[in-house]
Structure 1
Amino acid sequence: MEQVFRGYYQSPIGLMEIQASDKAITAIRFCEERGAENPNAVIRECITQLDEYFSGKRKDFQLNLAPKGSAFSRKVWGALCSIPFGETRSYQQIAAATGNEKACRAVGNANRNNPIPILIPCHRVIGKGGTLTGYNGGLWRKEWLLKHEARG
């Protein structure tokens, strides 16, 4: 069984737990308190890049990601990673990018189950009319991230 490494990062939008294998980031979640830590080089690099992102010095991440999910979810997450920094797409646009324009609800479900927020930028997906809809970390975090990226 592969070892799971864990580290924590205090971001401007809350404490984040980062999980990784020996080769890739596998999960990030917002949490209230720190638990046991055993960070590895992958997590330390992730923390460095998150610091650069939140300080406005980094616009895209150069990390190996290994999210667990269905084939469709992984297709959606791949489409999310192609949304440029500071831009947004609608659920319908992401559905079309997966090859099924009518899969808006399935795209929403894949977003909700995104195990690696920020690095897989589900916060860049908004409602058709430009409305902010659902974000596992809370809409206030989604709004903060979009404003942060709009500042460039």
Structure 2
Amino acid sequence: MFEYGKGLILVPEDTPYIIMLPIGDNTFPIYDSAPPCLASVDPAISAKIVRIYMRIKGLITMIKLNNADCQTAYNAGRYAVQNLIGKAISDGQAIDEDGARRINEYHDFYIEQEAKQLGMGGTANGLKFMTSELGELLVSIQQDIDKLTSSPYQVKTLYRH
């Protein structure tokens, strides 16, 4: 939620989320090296950990798709503006402050239209759904862990012997 969720949730249904989110290639080095440890965790909690992991992997794939579509939309907007400015220069037209403002508006409008053509609204809907689902899963697993760790005896039951 801190990184992108709050802004994403405010985006209206089917509206593109035209924001690039930096994300690395190896986002789970600890989890990827620890699957054997899941065998010693309570099966219900282990299942939730795996579910969260799978959903986050899907979320990362969607973020990368959104980033690629953003880059495509930004490139299209830049190209359209370059063409517009090139035409103005070749026609001998000066671009004043009002013209620059209108070019910026054209740029932003063009990016939004390109994002719609790329179907980024559907991607945003998926990102919102997965973000909400992950929030619910994290609350649920935190409650399970809190129950198991609320007394010294119960800590032992978190791990199977």
- TM-score (norm. length: structure 2): 0.21
Higher relative contact order (CA 8 A, sep 6+): 2
Q: Which structure has more strand as a fraction of its residues?
A: 1
Q: Which structure has more helix as a fraction of its residues?
A: 2
Greater radius of gyration (CA)? 2
